[in-house]
Amino acid sequence: MPDLFYSIATRSPEALAGWRDGKPVMHRALLARVRAWTALGHRTPATQVALYHEDSLEFAGSLLGAWLSGKTVWLGADVLSATCTALDARVGAFWGQFPAQHAPQSPGIGDDWQGEWAPPAPDFPALVVFTSGSTGAPVPIPKRLSQLTSEIAALEVQFGYGLGAAAIVSTVSHQHIYGLLFRVLWPLAQGRPVHAARHEFPETLAPALAERPCVLLASPAHLKRLPEHLDWRGAVRQLRAVFSSGGMLEQEASEHAGALLGQAPIEVYGSSETGGVAWRRRPLGEVWQALPGVQWRLGADGLLEVQSDHAGPDGWQRLADRAEAGRGGFLLRGRADRIVKIEEKRISLDAIEAALLAGGLASEARVVPVPAPGRQVLAAFVVPSEAGQAVLGGEGRSALSRRLRTLLADGIEAVALPRRWRYLDHMPVNAQGKTTQAALLALLDERPRYPQLRLVEQAQEQAASRVLLELRVPANLLYFDGHFSVAPVLPGVVQVDWAIHYGRQYFGLGPSFGGIHALKFQQMIRPEQPVRLELVHDSAKGQLQFRYFSDAGAHASGRILLTQTRAC
């Protein structure tokens, strides 16, 4: 495979780099941003730089500029206060879209490096991955440039033939190693155009997939929630491949995505430490096939061990996954690191979650350890099944908790029974589609999650029911964390969640979520700001319309598809 920097430097300036806001971005524009960020790098004394930018094309320019100016890039998953504080002790500069108190830097108007490109050596310390994955706090994982280029070469050998010049469309962030490789570095090396924005909602994803030949990068969480009511026929015609990584894709979710998109997802297994390890495609079986250049073996305790150029120069690396040999590859048999000690007894979190699911009252379940005075206890986060929803609605939270504890009591020791329970409409996921331990623990925070509320008006208007609510958003609202510390604003996703929550409360709407149409955010909502929320439920169309407004004008609006399960 040609050298990464040589490929980029010699590509025609008139080649297509990607799209931003529906408009083409040419390679010459990308090169201009590389030169601008390189200029910034040459006048920045720090050698360790934290980088965050949501736009993939701008991120690509800043990443290349950092490397061309000799900077090691620290890749954090977000710009939350805890992440930035941890980075602050390790880097000398923040580049991109960080909160103002970290003095983030971006190129100025006159920045245009005209010196000769001097690509780093293969052993250059190019990257430090600083994302925590599904458990614990972030830990630094260094990557040499040769590890990254070796992995994208392996991906092209394994999958490149069927992709051609297809555009890259993504629901996952490039601030994670999966998104970085698949959404930025691999396309850069091969000249495949990239959509600058991440598609967070299926309503924008479906038409984007229908525009031209493309590749979809997704996570299991995104694939299993693809709504059936949207028109995916264009995607079926244009998709060249669907990739899934960042977690295990359940068989049912694979079949669901395959039925809508016309092909089963290609699952890629690996870790931040090892990079990509293996792949599979469900119709071909459960066995994982090693990626080119990857060797694997089973340790004496049944844990998987791997070795490859992109895993690093340290020889065999040990993963926390149990495995067994299969035809031509290996089968994964669960995590080995989800064992915790509760009062000196070894407890399997996987076993508790499996027991909760087997009881029929939960459709999803996650169990995590939580510090408590003088000991450690377990907290269970449960998405109730239809049967669980019936218990929750008819008898209440305590009754459902008692039933779930009874289900666990036959096979789980009493000291391991969860002490804290949270019932959710769905598991929280981050931009990589992962449910992190930090996100789950945040749900135990006792700060308010809903506004102060007053019912202004409730009426039945022909085929539609209408409710008008007056809200005041408390200053200590949990969701103001990270949005943003300088000037807190109410996140758009929370506004949608509140509309759904109060729609269910006042109109008796069921738990199903069908999608969002005509979603608009016009003005920010700030702490203690009084706003009104108008909800209109059209039962004939199966739609919940919402509108946030105040004396300042319109704030947000949209149409949500939900199902009605009981009379108002």
Question: What is the reported pLDDT for 431?
Answer: 65
| Domains: count for the chain | 4
Domain containing 514 — which CATH number? 3.10.129.10
Quick check: 419 pLDDT over 90? no
Q: Please report whether residue 103 resides in a domain.
A: yes
Quick check: 482 pLDDT over 60? no
Q: Please report whether residue 174 resides in a domain.
A: no
pLDDT > 70: what percent of the chain? Answer: 93
DSSP 308: -
Question: What is the reported pLDDT for 487?
Answer: 62
Q: Worst-scoring range by mean pLDDT, 20-29, 339-348, 420-429?
A: 339-348
**11 and 111 housed in the same domain:** yes
Q: What separation in angstroms does the CA of 482 have from each of 93, 95, 442, 486, 488?
A: 19, 17, 13, 9, 8
**355 and 283 housed in the same domain:** no
Read off the pTM: 0.72
Domain that holds residue 318: 199-337
Quick check: 567 pLDDT over 50? no
Per-residue pLDDT band for 517 (boundaries 50, 70, 90) equals: confident
Q: What average pLDDT does the structure give for the chain?
A: 88
Quick check: 475 pLDDT over 90? no
**364 and 391 housed in the same domain:** yes
Domain containing 15 — which CATH number? 3.40.50.980
Q: Please report whether residue 152 resides in a domain.
A: no
Of 337, 359, 386, which closes a domain?
A: 337
Neighbours of 422 (CB within 10 A): 14
For every residue of 58-81, which 3-state class applies, written as one string? HHHHHHHHHHHCCCEEEEECCCCH
Q: Please report whether residue 352 resides in a domain.
A: yes
| Most confident region among 62-66, 218-222, 345-349 by mean pLDDT | 62-66
| Most confident region among 114-123, 127-136, 443-452, 457-466 by mean pLDDT | 114-123
- Count, residues in the chain: 568
Measured over the CA atoms of residue 311, residue 315, residue 316 and residue 320, the dihedral's sign is negative
Question: What is the reported pLDDT for 372?
Answer: 66
Question: What is the reported pLDDT for 416?
Answer: 78
Of 396, 416, 442, which closes a domain?
A: 442
**221 and 306 housed in the same domain:** yes
Q: Please report whether residue 150 resides in a domain.
A: no
Domain containing 344 — which CATH number? 3.30.300.30
Quick check: 78 pLDDT over 50? yes
**496 and 508 housed in the same domain:** yes
Neighbours of 10 (CB within 10 A): 9
Average pLDDT over residues 478-488: 61
Residues paired with 160 in a beta bridge? none
For 435-470, how does the pLDDT look when each residue is reduced to its tens digit (9 = 90+)? Answer: 877 778 878 876 778 898 899 998 887 778 899 999
Quick check: 13 pLDDT over 70? yes
Question: What is the reported pLDDT for 484?
Answer: 52
Question: What is the reported pLDDT for 195?
Answer: 97
Per-residue pLDDT band for 96 (boundaries 50, 70, 90) equals: very high
Quick check: 363 pLDDT over 70? yes
H or E element at residue 235 = helix 233-238
Question: What is the reported pLDDT for 563?
Answer: 52
Q: Please report whether residue 151 resides in a domain.
A: no
Quick check: 94 pLDDT over 70? yes
Q: Which residue has the higher pLDDT, 564 or 146?
A: 146
**457 and 434 housed in the same domain:** no
Question: What is the reported pLDDT for 375?
Answer: 67
Q: Worst-scoring range by mean pLDDT, 93-102, 209-218, 422-431, 473-482?
A: 473-482
**2 and 134 housed in the same domain:** yes
Per-residue pLDDT band for 412 (boundaries 50, 70, 90) equals: confident
Domain containing 206 — which CATH number? 3.40.50.12780
Q: Worst-scoring range by mean pLDDT, 118-122, 206-210, 316-320, 447-451?
A: 447-451
Question: What is the reported pLDDT for 565?
Answer: 44
17 touches 193 (CB < 8 A): yes
Question: What is the reported pLDDT for 135?
Answer: 46
**484 and 437 housed in the same domain:** no
Q: Please report whether residue 483 resides in a domain.
A: yes
Neighbours of 108 (CB within 10 A): 11
Q: What separation in angstroms does the CA of 523 have from each of 99, 290, 531?
A: 20, 49, 11
For 281-308, how does the pLDDT look when each residue is reduced to its tens digit (9 = 90+)? Answer: 988 789 999 999 999 999 988 999 999 9
**358 and 328 housed in the same domain:** no
Quick check: 415 pLDDT over 80? no
For 205-237, how does the pLDDT look when each residue is reduced to its tens digit (9 = 90+)? Answer: 999 999 999 999 999 888 988 999 899 999 999
**284 and 329 housed in the same domain:** yes
Q: Please report whether residue 149 resides in a domain.
A: no
Quick check: 564 pLDDT over 70? no
**498 and 426 housed in the same domain:** no
Of 321, 337, 353, which closes a domain?
A: 337
**322 and 293 housed in the same domain:** yes
